[in-house]
Chains A and B, each alone.
Chain A
Amino acid sequence: MITGQELGGLGCSVKRKEDARFIRGQGKYVDDVQLPNMTYLHLVRSPFAHARIERIDTSAALEIPGVLAVITGEDLAKANLSWMPTLSHDQQMVLATGKVLFQGQEVAAVVGETRFAAADGAAAVRVDYEELPVLIDPHQALEPEAPILREDREEQTNHIFHWESGDREATDRIFSEADVTISQDMLYQRCHPAPIECCACVADWDATNEKMTIWMTSQAPHAHRTVFALVAGLPEHKIRIISPDVGGGFGNKVPVYPGYVCAAVASLTLGRPVKWTEDRTGNLSSTGFARDYHMRADLAATKEGEIRALRVKTLADHGAFNAAAQPSKFPAGLYNICTGSYDLENAFVEVDGVYTNKAPGGIAYRCSFRVTEAAYLIERAVDVLADELGMDAAELRRKNFIQPDQFPYETSLGWTYDSGDYEAALDRALEIVGYEDLLREQEEKRARGEIMGIGISSFTEIVGAGPGKTFDILGLEMFDSCEVRVHPTGKVLARIGVQTQGQGHETTFAQILAEELGIPVADITVEHGDTDTAPYGLGTYASRSTPVAGAATAIAARKIRDKAKKIAAHVMEVAEEDVEWKDYAFRVKGAPDRSVSMADVAFAAYTNTPQGVEAGLEAVNYYDPPNLTFPFGTYVCVVDVDKGTGEWKVRRFVAVDDCGTVINPMIVEGQIHGGLTEGFAISAMQLIDFDENGSIIGSNFMEYLLPTAVETPTWETDQTVTPSPHHPIGAKGVGESPCVGSPAAFVNAVVDALSPFGVRHIDMPITSYKVWKALREAGVAD
């Protein structure tokens, strides 16, 4: 009898199938695609944040040997392609017409025979600009003297939306009668996912067959195919999007960018393949940024520390176009998950979105549509309240957690949490870190004038979008899919609608199938990313692959099992009702030694089917989840502060995560390491900043800082397991939890370190300079 371990089923740390090519340098990324007659596209970008385009002179560029074409917004306008729809019901310029709205905006595209010709051509394009007043501070966007940025819109205002969730009056009432209230302003700064691979595409128009093939750095190839069909008017069956290996995404590769559209247009025009490879400067200055949420959190509590209500007011800076890549029905996405892990009487959230002269975006950077902002807000606010109450931060959390017997738990803002045991995760984390000892050590150190801090974050995540009724992209409901074929010899080819960017889908989805079909992982190939072959799916982001496509995979396998059971009965010459699937084989009830394996049945499915049963063994499932899943955990961070320079170092970081059923512990741990590192980076250094002219500071890795192995802490991970009751295998998704939950832990730790000096909050990224300033203001010096 074969075991789950031998199969590589659920819970096994199976080594990754995809690594065979990656460790040999044989991954195939978009820029690795080489086609005969390739041409190269280089974008001309605006040096100004807000300026009228007076003239674009392409003549010098066109004279450069090897330059084949220069495309401007005016050219695109003739084909009605100078604007394209965003994922948030706005529109965005492909190439600027009339004026530019942010520094780095795409103004023209130059196509050349070589990279050199394209770059030289781009350098030779002359654009005359008339500078316009620049709007950088979102707080000024709605002031009467603010310049109106979007002349294309009917409503001449910089206001994009107002959104409310919850009961304002009932919440205000609790605040007016509460023993204790706190109010804290906090900024979740503008940052950028910055995967190491920038965006790229190769567009290849086959004029004979009238077919457009586009290799693209895409987290959602099918959705992009539909967008191309709608925007460019190409028939959808004549568009093939291939998202090959993707060098990290983190939300950056969800939107459609102007470079893709320009490459497709250029290929259609020239009849040759066109490669566009973004440089890092273009990536950081024009593609999807994240956050830029200016938040105020108010908490009302009893003096004993019972949190009663949360009130949130937020100004959301969306940049020049509302291109927030979020498919929910709500303008601020899932931000009203901000009641977090706590059982509150009531809550009220309001968000106003505004335009500024910054790049568009607001993408879900390693998170689900504003959950990161929400988790940070509540976990930071709880610490501020603990400080106000003089209560231990762990104790305050424990006192207010939603209890295990309250699940499914409906929050006052309308989400239904599937399952959780928050106290268990907190207890485990405190035990591992040795919380009591740390508190003692901190007291001794403080007496000696040394500075250390302990920060806790007990977050609740929300992942796995759909359901389709709540989430859609341009009307496409957020289901996901899997198609499974079992070949006659018992080998499996499965294709999924989601697209990996390093998460290891070729392995973990094979493990789900191994578990469900009793076929070893080594005998299963999982493919994705090619819209001509994979079933329709909405892509990988928002930790939705396992919750949605993972469920589709399990259900498709179970469909196969249902059919296989009939064939198994036929092969074993017993009635179907006498057959059961047990220990990875079909067995005769009461006589488990009489069995056939799935491989045996597969052969029969093509050679010996019972009457009335179709030949073959294939299934497909499109899964629309009944609810989201709600992973959670507790993180504890310990920091030491250098009071001379203000530098802070993470000494310990304990992460206890609960993502329900674990498919591959090795991969889950890897995801947690990576997410924690991004959370650390955001809390410590990642910042897209602008000067008063709207010039971006942080458009390259000299100023947009990413941690190296030297700064990155060592992570201590552990888990609790609370399966999702509504997911076929109980899995919840994990890729984002550590990035969502950890920023508050770092900030809480540094603020805790400085709390004896009256510090209650510092905005991210917490630089040495900010810490130094706080210390000097409190009169502390080296």
Chain B
Amino acid sequence: MIPAAFDYHRPASLADALSVLDELGWDAKLLAGGQSLIPAMRFRLAEPTAIVDLNGLAELERFEEADGYLHIGALVRHATIADSGLARERYPLLADAAAVIADPLVRNRGTVGGSLIHADPAGDWGSVMLAYRAELAVRRVDGDRIVPIDELFVTTFMTSLEPSELVTSVRIPAAGTGQGGAYEKLERKVGDFATVGVAAQIALAPDGTVGAVGIGLTAVGATNLRAAAAEQELLGSSADEAAIASAAARAAAESNPSADGRGSEEYKRDMVRVLTARALRRSVERARGTV
């Protein structure tokens, strides 16, 4: 399993990276953690003629709260989040998900940005970011823009970004009181992609009802999906068992899985239901714990 030959670029700065991208366009492939790209290249499923290695660009490595957001640099490794006290205490949905992506060695290398841009519907971060209603900070040679997560995924392995654009970081609203989230992933073994994954993030209003909710679904559609109807169902409710059950049923209905070796469409829909309920219950518990 030997990749095809390619030209290797290691820009010394973000500005350099942007100009290389601008010049090479579709011929270039960005290399972040490489944990999906390199295996694909070994199988020659991907044969990019040029690789732009982003590793070492410090601008892409920030992981901090500022200006009412948590900023997660595109090169932040899954393991950094899994091991982060900040994530565990204030962003449990992030910590939950980071701990179940691939395996611990892959997590030491794989990055949040790389995973999002890969746009694999079985990727875990897409659902998490949908639940958080994240935004991506995107740069190109001649400017920058903010891309809401709902506008990122076009279809499997395809995003709305231009080849000259580069995600520098992802931002999610800074944690506040009365918030909680959880990630539930059903996998056949450690290191497997999700059969189904569900990310939930909840903010309780002062009266204990659900003031805001985000639910993202993994591996049940062409992209990570927002369970919008389920969110609507839960919004304003008291997040009791009945509300959770009907939201979970909604999520199952709006998912769009396909059958494969992991199970039938019906099974996966039911897993969306079961896991959504479990994720919501844990989110509510966590949210109440901080009220």
Contacts and interface: CB of A to CB of B under 8 A. Distances in A.
A and B touch in their complex, CB below 8 angstroms: yes
A467 B261 CA distance: 43
B2 A705 contact: no
B44 interface: yes
A123 B262 CA distance: 32
Interface string A677-708: 00000000101010000000100001101111
Size range of the chain B interface in the assembly: 20 to 34
B270 A769 contact: no
A705 B190 contact: no
Contacts, number: 62
Given A645-B186, A767-B263, A776 B270 contact: yes
Contact of A707 (B186, B189, B270, B274): B189
A220 B56 CA distance: 49
B274 A120 contact: no
Interface string B257-291: 00001111001001100110110000000000000
A769 B267 contact: yes
B16 interface: no
A279 B190 CA distance: 22
Contacts of B267: 769, 772-773
A281 interface: yes
Interface in B37-88: 43-44
A115 interface: yes
Contacts of B4: 120, 123
Nearest to A123: B44
A769 B268 CA distance: 9
Contacts of B261: 687, 689, 697, 703
A769 B191 contact: no
Contacts of A706: 189
A419 to B, nearest CB: 39
B271 A116 contact: no
Interface string B234-276: 0000000000000000000000000001111001001100110
A768 B186 contact: yes
| Best-buried of A689, A707, A782 by chain B (most CB within 10 Å) | A782
A259 to B, nearest CB: 15
Contacts of A772: 263, 267, 270
Given A769-B267, A772-B267, A708 B274 contact: no
Nearest to A689: B261
Contacts of B278: 644
B151 interface: no
B192 interface: yes
B144 interface: no
Nearest to A782: B274
A42 B44 CA distance: 14
Contact of B2 (A115, A687, A782): A115
B271 A705 contact: no
Interface string A706-722: 11101100000000000
Interface in A733-782: 767-769, 772-773, 776, 782
Interface in B184-223: 186, 188-193, 195
Interface string A655-689: 00000000000000000000000000000010101
A769 B262 contact: yes
A685 B274 contact: no
A116 B5 contact: yes
B2 A645 contact: no
Interface string B141-169: 00000000000000000000000000000
A119 interface: yes
Contacts of A164: none
Nearest to A118: B2
A687 B188 CA distance: 13
A647 interface: yes
Contacts of B270: 772, 776
A116 B186 contact: no
Nearest to A701: B191
B247 to A, nearest CB: 15
Contact of B188 (A42, A280, A697, A767): A767
A689 B2 CA distance: 26
A120 B43 CA distance: 12
B103 interface: yes
A204 to B, nearest CB: 23
B2 A711 contact: no
B99 to A, nearest CB: 12
A648 B118 CA distance: 32
Contacts of A703: 261
Contacts of B43: 281
B15 to A, nearest CB: 33
Contacts of A782: 274, 277
Contact of A705 (B5, B189, B264): B189
A500 B261 CA distance: 36
Interface in A378-392: none
B1 A710 contact: no
Nearest to A703: B261
B1 A281 contact: yes
Given A708-B103, A767-B263, A685 B189 contact: yes
Interface in A26-47: 42
A357 B253 CA distance: 39
Contacts of B274: 644-645, 782
Contacts of B275: 645
A708 B189 contact: yes
A120 B44 CA distance: 10
Contacts of B186: 645, 647, 768
Given A281-B1, A776-B270, A705 B263 contact: no
Select the residue from A42, A280, A281, A645 with max chain B CB neighbours within 10 A: A645
Interface in A471-493: none
A710 B188 CA distance: 11
A280 B42 CA distance: 12
B44 A705 contact: no
Q: Which of B43, B190, B261, B262 has the most CB of A within 10 A?
A: B261
A708 B1 contact: no
A262 to B, nearest CB: 18
B275 to A, nearest CB: 8
A279 B261 CA distance: 23
Contacts of A689: 261
B264 A769 contact: yes
Contacts of A769: 262-264, 267
A156 to B, nearest CB: 35
Interface of A: 42, 115-116, 119-120, 123, 279-281, 644-645, 647, 685, 687, 689, 697, 702-703, 705-708, 710-711, 767-769, 772-773, 776, 782
28 contacts: A116-B2, A119-B1, A123-B44, A280-B1, A281-B1, A281-B43, A644-B278, A645-B274, A685-B188, A685-B189, A687-B261, A703-B261, A705-B188, A706-B189, A707-B189, A708-B103, A708-B189, A708-B190, A710-B190, A711-B189, A767-B262, A768-B188, A768-B263, A769-B263, A769-B267, A772-B263, A773-B264, A773-B267
Interface of B: 1-2, 4-5, 43-44, 103, 186, 188-193, 195, 261-264, 267, 270-271, 274-275, 277-278
Given A768-B195, A773-B267, 18 more contacts: A42-B2, A116-B2, A120-B4, A281-B43, A685-B189, A689-B261, A702-B192, A703-B261, A705-B188, A705-B189, A705-B192, A708-B190, A710-B190, A767-B262, A768-B186, A769-B263, A769-B264, A782-B274
Closest A-B pairs by Cβ, 8 of them: A769-B263, A119-B2, A644-B274, A708-B190, A710-B190, A279-B1, A711-B189, A769-B267
